[in-house]
Chains A and B, each alone.
Chain A
Amino acid sequence: MDIPVFHLDVLNDRVLIAIIAVLHVVINHGMAVGGIPLVAYLERRGLATGDEAWDALAFRILTVFFIVTTTVGALTGVGIWFSAALVNPYAMGSLLRVFFWTWFTEWLVFVTEIVLILAYYLTWKKWRGPRKHAHVRLGGALSAASWATMALIVSILSFMMDPGSWHSDKTLFSGMFNPVYLPQLAFRTPLAMIMAGAFALAIVAWSEEDASMRARAVRTISSWILVWMLPCAAGGFWYARAVPSAMAANLPIALGTQALQAWSRTALAVLGGACAVIAIVALWGARKPNSTRTWALVVPALLSILLIGAFERVREFVRKPYAIAGYLYSNGLRKDDYPLLQRDGLLARATYTRVRRITEANEVDAGREVFLLACTRCHTVDGVNGIRSVLAAMYGDDRPWDREAIASYVGSMHDLRPFMPPFPGNEREKNALAVYLEHLQLHRETLEGAQSTGVVIEP
C-alpha cells in the first residue's frame, strides 16, 4: 500500500525468508546457544582431567563453530531482518516500534557476545597454564551472552503469535512477557543443547583419528544429548499447550481447523520420528561408543536441521492469518483498516498503483494490482504456492474457470480457510481480481515486483 511491493514470483518471498531464517536458527541454536556451553564443558573437562586431547577436541569444534557463526551465522541474522523487512515491511516496522528497546538491549548483548567469542577463540592458544582457569570462565560468560541474545529475540517471536495483554495496554513489558514466551524459551534452550551435541558428534566422527579418544568423545557428547532430551520434551509439551490455547480465539472453528490439524499430525509424526532416531543414536553412542559408525554419528545433525526447519515452519504456519496476532494480517494490512479498505477499495487508498478506477476495459490490470497488493505476501502467480496451481487444483485445468465462482470463493475464503486473511478490498475489486485470476488460466504470466518494474502513481 504505502511501500513498493518487493516480490519474487518464482521462489516466493516466504521461501526467501525461510531459507535465511532456518539457516540462521540452525547455526544460532546449534553452534552458539548450545554450541558454546558444550565447548566450554569439554574445555573444562580437559582442565579437570589434565588430558590435553579434550582441550584439542574442544578447540577443533570451536574452530568450526567460530568460522560458521561469525560469517554465515552473523549475516543470516541480519539477513532475517533484511528479508522480513522486504517481504512484510509493515510487520517489521510495527514490531520495531513496539520492541525497539528489546532489540537495542539485544544489540548490546550481541556486541558483548561477539567481543567474547573473538576473545575466547583468539586467546585459546595464548591463555595457557595458570590463565587457563580464566579462559574457562570466559567460556561461561560467552555461554551466558549467547543464551541471552536468544532469550530476548524469542520474546518477539512469541509476541507475534500471541501479544497477550499488549492489545489493551500497548507497553513493551506486556508485549515481551506474552503467554507464549516462557514456554517457547523452555523448549528452545534444551533444543539448542541437543543440536549442539548433534553437530559435535558429526565433527568428532569426521575429524577424530585416535580411536580411544573418539570413543570417549562420542560417549560424552551422546550423554550430553540424552541429558537434555527430557527437559526438551517437557518444554515442548508446555509450549504445545500454550500455543493452541493462544491461537484458539483467532481460528474460527471450521473446515480449516481440520486441515490444520491434519497438517500438524503429519508434521508431528515426522518430528517424533526424527527425535526417536536422534535418541537411538545418542543411546548407542553413550552405551557402545566403540561400535558407532561415522554415518550414524552424522545422522543426528542432519535430522536436527530437518527438525528445527519443520518446527519453524509449523510455528510460522499456526500464526496465520496474522503476522501479529489480532493486529496485523499476513498481507501486511492492519485489521483495524479493513472497514476503510472494504468501503473505499484498496486501489483508491494505495499510494502506488497503476490503476486507480476500475472500468470494463481495465479489469485485468486492476485485478493484477489487487493481487499484487493483497495476495503476493504468500502467493506467486506461477511459482511456489502459485495461484494458478491452487486454482487448477480447485477447479481443474481442463475446463474454463468461472470468474463468478472465483469471486464468491474470494469473498468467503477466510471462513473456509481460516489461515487466510479476509479479502481486504471492495466488491468491484473482488470481481476484478476474479477476472484477473480467470485470465491467468489462458495467459501464463509472471508478476514482477517493484525491484524490477519500479513504482507508478496513477492520480
Chain B
Amino acid sequence: MSLEPMPVPRDIPLPLPANPHWLEFLLVVAFVAHILFVNLMVGGSILVLAFEIRGLREPDYDRLARALASTITVNKSLAVVMGVAPLLLINLLYTIHFYTANALTGMAWILLVPTIAVTFLLLYLHQYTWDRFRNLKWAHISILGLAVALFLVIPLVFLANVNLMMFPERWTSVHGFLSALALPNVLPRYLHFLCASLILTSLFGVGYFWRARFPVEQMFHSLTRPRLRRTFYAIAFVVSLAQFIAGPLVLVTIPSKGLAAPVLTAIFTGVFLAIPAVWMIWKELSMEEPDGKRLPMIAGLLALTVLCMASGRHMYRGVALAEHKREMRMATERWAEDSAQAAYEKTLGQERAAHGIGEGQALFQSTCSACHGVDRRIVGPPLTEIARIYAGNPDGIVTWARAPGKKRPDTPQMPAFASLGDPKLRKIADYMLETGAIRQ
C-alpha cells in the first residue's frame, strides 16, 4: 500500500433527516431500480445497433432493431428519473466521500451532463429518421453508432466515482479522471456491468416479443416467435458465461479491506442463484422451439441475484468506510467543540473590551489560570464557583488573595498574591466575577 497520509475531513455538521439504516435500505432499492433501466438502455442500444447492421442483409433484423429501439425511448427516460433517488441518497449518506470523488474527477464528471443529453438527442434523431434515412442506411447506423460509443464511455465516469469514494487512502494519489480510472477494480466492474446489461436486455427481448399482443407474424417474413426467443436466449447464455469470468475478476481486484464475511455471503448467494438460471437458459436453448415457460423462473432467480449483489456491494462500502467514517465523526466533533470555544472566546473578548477589563483577563491568564479554570476545576475552584461565592463582592476576592487561608482539605493552600497590589487584584476579581457569571 502507498504511504500517502489518509485524509480525515470533517463532515457537514447537520443531522441526517432519518435513521441511516432506512436511508441505506432506500438507497439499495432505488439503485437497483435505476440500474435495471440503465442496463436496458445501454444493452438495448447495443443490440439495436447489432440488429440494424445485420438488417443490411436480412431485412427482418432491421424491423427487429426498430421494434426494440422504440422501447429505449421509455427506458432511457426512466433510467434518468430513477437515477435521481440514488443520487440524492448517496449525496446524503456519503456526502464528503462522494463530493471528494466528484471533485477529483471534476471535468469528466461535469461533462456527463452534456454528453448524456447529446446521446439522448442522437437516440431520438436515430429513432425518428428511420424512414427518412431509408436510403442512407449507413448514415442512420452511424448516428446510433455514435450514441452507443458515448454510452460505452459514460458508465466509466460513474464507476470511477463510486469506486474512488470508497478509498480515501487513494485520494491524494489521484490526478484527474484517467488516474481514477486506473485504480484496480474499475475496469472489471465495467465489464461486469456491460455483461449484465446484455443479459438483462436479451431476457427482456425474450419476454417482449413473446407477448401474444406483439404482431410477430405481421411484422416479420422469416423471423418466427421461437426463432426470436432462440436469438435472445443465445445472447443471454453466451454473455452469462462471460459474466462468470467478469464476476470473479471483480472479486480478485477489489481491495480486500471491505471483504467481510457478510459481504462474501451475499455475493456467493447471488452466484449460486445465478447458476440454475443459466442452466435453465441452456435448457430453453437446447429445445428445438423454446416455449419460454422457464422465463419467469429465470427472471425471478436473476432478480434475486441482482438484489444479493447490490446488497453485497453496499455492505462492502459500509465495511470499507467504517473506520474512516468513525475517524471523521471524531474530527467533526472535535471541530464543533473548538468552534464553540473560539466563538465563546470571541464574544467574551468583545464584552471585556466593551467593559474595559481586558487587563484583568491578561493578569488572570498570567497569574491565576494555571490553577483556576473557567468552568472546570484544575487545582483550585473554577471561576463559575468563585463567582457564586463572591457574587457582588469583588473586594472579598482581593482580601482573600492577599493572604489566603486553607479552606479545602483536598487542595493545597493557595499562595499569597499581596505583591501584585490591590488595584491589580481588583481588576482580576472583576474579571473573575464577570466571566464566571457569564458561564453559569
Interface string of B105-142 (1 = CB under 8 A from A): 11101101110110011001000000000000000000
CB of B7 within 8 A of CB of A455, answer yes
Contacts of A98 in B (CB 8 A): 14, 17
B88 at the interface (CB under 8 A from A): yes
* Mask: chain A, 85-114; 1 = CB below 8 Å from B; 0 = not: 110011011101110110110010011001
Say if the beta carbon of A400 comes within 8 Å of chain B: no
- In contact, A351 and B103 (Cβ under 8 angstroms): no
**CB–CB A3/B18 < 8 A:** no
Chain A residues near B345: list those with CB within 8 A.
Answer: 339, 343
Residues of chain B within 8 A (CB-CB) of A340 are 335, 338-339, 341-343
Q: Which residues of A contact B172 (CB under 8 A)?
A: 454-457
Instruction: Summarize A's interface: helix, strand, loop or mixed.
Output: helix
Q: Is A82 an interface residue (CB 8 A)?
A: yes
A110 contact from B81, B104, B176, B177, Cβ within 8 A: B81
A337 CA to B87 CA in the complex, in Å? 28
B251 within 8 A of A: no
A-facing mask of B326-349, CB < 8 A → 1, else 0?
000000000100110111011000
Q: Check B84 against A78 for contact (C-beta < 8 Å).
A: yes
Q: Chain B residues with Cβ under 8 A from A110's Cβ? A: 81, 84
Given contacts A3-B103, A337-B339, A343-B342, contact A454 B173 (CB under 8 A): yes
Please state if A107 and B103 are interface contacts (CB–CB under 8 Å). Answer: no
Q: Does B175 contact A (CB under 8 A)?
A: yes
Question: Bound complex: CA of A115 vs CA of B33, how far in Å?
Answer: 15
Specify which of A67, A82, A115, A337 is in contact with B110 (CB 8 Å cutoff).
Answer: A82
A94–B92 alpha-carbon span in the complex (Å): 9
The one of B17, B107, B343, B346 that contacts A101, using a Cβ cutoff of 8 Å? B17
Contacting pair A82 B99 (CB below 8 A): no
Contacts of B343 in A (CB 8 A): 336, 339-340
Stretch at the interface among A127-135, A179-187, A445-453: A445-453
Q: Is the CB of A85 within 8 A of B13?
A: no
**Bound form: Cα–Cα A192–B109 in Å:** 30
Q: Which residue of B lies closest to A91 (CB)?
A: B12
- Among B14, B81, B106, B171, the residue within 8 A (CB) of A449 is B106
B14 touches A351 (CB 8 A): no
Q: Is the CB of A85 within 8 A of B81?
A: no
Task: Kindly identify which residue among A79, A85, A104, A337 contacts B102, using a CB–CB cutoff of 8 Å.
Answer: A85
Interface residue SS majority, chain B: helix
Please give the distance in Å from A334's CB to the nearest CB on chain B: 7
- What residues on B are CB-neighbors of A94 within 8 Å? 12, 14
Given that A20-B113, A78-B113, A86-B109 are contacting pairs, would A71 and B12 also be in contact in the complex, using a CB cutoff of 8 Å? no
Of the 9-residue stretches B44-52, B71-79, B387-395, which lies at the interface with chain A? Answer: B71-79
A451 touches B176 (CB 8 A): yes
B8 within 8 A of A: yes
B176 and A452 contact, CB distance less than 8 A = yes
Chain B residues touching A, range: 35 or more
- Is B353 interfacial (CB-CB < 8 Å)? no
Q: Is the CB of B124 within 8 A of A96?
A: no
In contact, A96 and B95 (Cβ under 8 angstroms): yes
Of B12, B73, B87, the contact of A118 (CB 8 Å cutoff): B73
* Smallest Cβ-Cβ distance to A110: which chain B residue: B81
Min CB–CB distance B49 → chain A (angstroms): 19
User: Which of A89, A456, A457 is in CB contact (< 8 Å) with B99?
Assistant: A89
Chain A residues in 8 Å Cβ range of B8: 351
- Complex CA gap A307/B112 in Å reads 28
**A76-B113, A122-B73 given; A70·B120 CB < 8 A:** yes
> Within the complex, which residue of B100, B116, B176, B346 is in contact with A3, where a contact is CB–CB below 8 Å?
B100
The chain B residue with its CB closest to the CB of A459 is: B5
Q: Do the beta carbons of A351 and B13 come within 8 Å of each other?
A: no
CB neighbours of A92 from chain B (8 A): 91, 99
CA A98 to CA B100, docked complex, whole Å: 21
The answer, yes or no, to whether A120 is at the interface (CB within 8 Å) is: no
CB distance from B40 to the nearest CB of A (A): 14
Asked if A2 is at the interface of the complex by the 8 Å CB criterion, the answer is yes
Which of A72, A122, A349 counts the most B-chain CB atoms under 10 A from its CB?
A72
Q: How far is the CA of A227 from the CA of B235 in the complex (A)?
A: 58
Please measure, in the bound complex, the distance between the C-alpha atom of A98 and the C-alpha atom of B14, giving whole angstroms.
Answer: 8
Report the Cα distance A172→B18, complex, angstroms.
12
Query: Smallest distance from the beta carbon of B330 to chain A beta carbons, Å?
Result: 14
Complex CA–CA separation, A89 to B175 (angstroms)? 19
- Return chain A residues, CB-CB under 8 Å to B116: 75
- In the assembled complex, which residues on chain A have CB atoms less than 8 Å from the CB atom of B179? 454
Residues of A within 8 A of B102 (CB): 6, 82, 85-86, 89
Tell me which residues across on chain B come within 8 A of A70, comparing CB atoms: 77, 120
* B104 and A114 within 8 A (CB): no
The answer to whether B95 touches A71, judged by C-beta atoms less than 8 angstroms apart, is no
Which A residue sits closest to B105, measured CB to CB?
A451
By the criterion CB–CB under 8 Å, are A82 and B113 in contact? Answer: yes
What 0/1 pattern do residues 431 to 459 of A give for CB contact below 8 A with B? Answer: 00000000000000000011111111101
* Of A76, A97, A336, the contact of B339 (CB 8 Å cutoff): A336
Is A457 touching B7 in the complex (CB atoms < 8 A)?
A: yes
B106 surroundings in chain A (CB, below 8 A):
6, 86, 449-451
Residues of B within 8 A of A122 (CB): 73-74
Q: Does chain B have a CB within 8 A of A390?
A: no
CB pairs A–B below 8 angstroms (23 shown): A1-B9, A67-B121, A67-B124, A70-B77, A71-B121, A74-B77, A75-B80, A75-B114, A78-B83, A85-B102, A86-B99, A92-B91, A98-B17, A340-B341, A344-B338, A351-B7, A351-B9, A449-B103, A449-B106, A450-B104, A450-B106, A454-B104, A457-B4
Closest 8 interchain pairs by CB? A451-B106, A2-B9, A79-B113, A340-B342, A97-B14, A75-B117, A71-B120, A339-B342
- Known: A20-B113, A98-B17; 17 extra A-B contacts, CB below 8 A, are A2-B96, A3-B96, A4-B171, A6-B102, A90-B12, A92-B91, A94-B14, A97-B14, A97-B16, A114-B80, A122-B73, A349-B335, A351-B10, A450-B103, A451-B177, A454-B174, A455-B171
